[in-house]
Amino acid sequence: MAERLSAEARRQALGGLSGWTDVQGRDAIGKTFVFKDFNEAFGFMTRAALVAEKMDHHPEWRNVYKTVEVVLSTHDAGGVTARDMALAKAMNAIAG
Ligand SMILES: C[C@H](O)[C@H](O)[C@H]1CNC2=NC(N)=NC(=O)C2=N1
């Protein structure tokens, strides 16, 4: 099972992940993606869902029109692990 990242490892990883920050009040990272319209937002979610399923690592997310709010945490570990950083990186690549 993946281990929770140390504060230092987490800080370093977030430094390389545009737009991702610590979520207040829980052990998780988050980003709000804003797209051109609903079609772009839902296309992102569709592509991200396929990657997440392949990684067996799934986001918490909420879509309102052209925004997608994503929260990543490794439930099995009770906090942020390298798996969250990997999915965050993949989501950034998908969003372009
Ligand atoms: C059995 C299965 O591998 C686990 O439940 C996976 C599925 N997707 C997951 N997604 C996330 N975000 N955290 C997990 O701990 C997790 N665990």
What is the SS3 assignment for 62? strand
Q: In this predicted structure, what is the pLDDT of residue 89?
A: 98
**Cα separation of 65 and 42, whole Å?**
9
Q: Is 15 a domain residue? A: no
CA of 43 to the centre of ligand 1 (A): 23
Contact 71, 60 (CB under 8 A): yes
Q: Structure tokens of 24?
A: 């207040």
Note down the domain range covering 53.
Answer: 27-95
Q: Return the HEC string of 6-34.
A: CHHHHHHHHHCCCCCEECCCCCCEEEEEE
Q: Is 4 a domain residue? A: no
**Cα separation of 50 and 57, whole Å?**
10
CA of 13 to the centre of ligand 1 (A): 20
| ipTM summary value | 0.96
Averaged pLDDT of the chain:
97
Q: Return the HEC string of 66-83.
A: CEEEEEECECCCCECCHH
Average pLDDT over residues 23-43: 98
Asked if residue 1 has pLDDT above 80, the reply is no
Q: Whose CA is nearest to atom 8 of ligand 1?
A: 57
CA of 46 to the centre of ligand 1 (A): 18
CATH number at 48 reads 3.30.1360.20
Answer yes or no: is the C-beta of 76 below 6 A from any ligand 1 atom: yes
Asked if residue 32 has pLDDT above 90, the reply is yes
Q: Is 9 a domain residue? A: no
Answer yes or no: is the C-beta of 74 below 6 A from any ligand 1 atom: yes
Q: Is 8 a domain residue? A: no
Average pLDDT over residues 47-70: 98
Q: Is 47 a domain residue? A: yes
Q: Is 71 a domain residue? A: yes
Q: Which ligand 1 atom sits nearest the alpha carbon of residue 2?
A: 15
